[in-house]
Amino acid sequence: MMNSEARKRAAGIAASNPTDHSRARRWKGRPRDFQREALRLFALERERTLLPWSYVTLACGIEMCLRVECMTVHAPKRIDYPEFVCIYCGLPGDGKDHLLPKPNTGEALRKYVLVVPSCGECNGFINDFPDPHVGRRRILAQQKIAKKNRHLLERKEKSEAELNELGHELRSVAIKNNNKARGVRLRLAWPDDHAYDLRAFQHSGIENPAGLGLCDEVALAYSDRPYWEEVA
């Protein structure tokens, strides 16, 4: 088994004080790959198994420094939303969405990855969206739900009188479409509680989530605007 110094040499890391910048080694690859490489080196050096979606911050202040001595690893933090309820559309879901910090855009106070419940469809819609603000993520997810169901939403719901004029098969199809459209509209109106996000973050110990760019003071749903409107 490699001893501590051998592991440091293999990882290309100098054993030095985190405040000593003279022997800093910086990541030269794509910035988005830095966290993965830093976590790999940390796990190798410290012989630890890290939780998925752990996050590294640096004590030295050097951007993308790879010295393990400079690193602090933060475990993901679960936000206190109701379990198994997608925060973006209200459907039941056992998925998780991970809100990554943005240390280079004024969000340096947040040192951890936030974990919130989501359904598989919404998670797929916003998977590559970099903004951790749950309100903007919700609007984007609901926009995509609306686009996916545009024809269903534009179709006028048939009244009971109109349904009674249809044959059995057409009536069944029309009722099914009515119910589908109602379900989509409910998803586009989620949440019906305007304190939904703020309360979840504050119950999790984050007193000013709006100030950290994580949510709005008042949670709005996509149905508060025309469903065809684009999200900037």
My answer on whether 177 and 135 are in the same domain is: yes
The answer as to whether 229 is a domain residue is: no
Strands 114-118 and 95-99: antiparallel
Q: How far apart are CA 139 and CA 59, in angstroms?
A: 36
Does residue 143 sit within a domain? yes
Instruction: State the average pLDDT over residues 96-123.
Output: 78
CA atoms within 13 A on the CB side of 118: 21
> Which pLDDT belongs to residue 204?
94
172 and 199 in a single domain? The answer is yes
* CA-closest candidate to residue 187, choices 152, 212, 231: 152
Examine the fold and report which residue of 13, 44, 75 is the final residue of a domain before the chain moves on: 75
Q: What does the alpha-carbon distance between residue 96 and residue 42 come to, in Å, rounded to a whole number?
A: 25
Q: Which domain holds residue 11?
A: 4-75
Q: Is 103's pLDDT higher than 60?
A: no
For residue 85, is pLDDT > 90? Answer: yes
pLDDT of residue 20: 54
Mean pLDDT across the stretch 146-167? Answer: 75
User: Which range (8-22, 76-90, 127-141, 210-224) has the least confidence?
Assistant: 8-22
**Does 109 lie in the same domain as 180?**
yes
In the predicted model, is pLDDT for residue 5 greater than 90?
no
Instruction: Note whether 65 and 148 are same-domain residues.
Output: no
The pLDDT value recorded for residue 190 is 95
Split into its structural domains, the chain has a count of 2
pLDDT at residue number 224: 67
Say if 193 falls within a structural domain. yes
197 and 88 together in one domain: yes
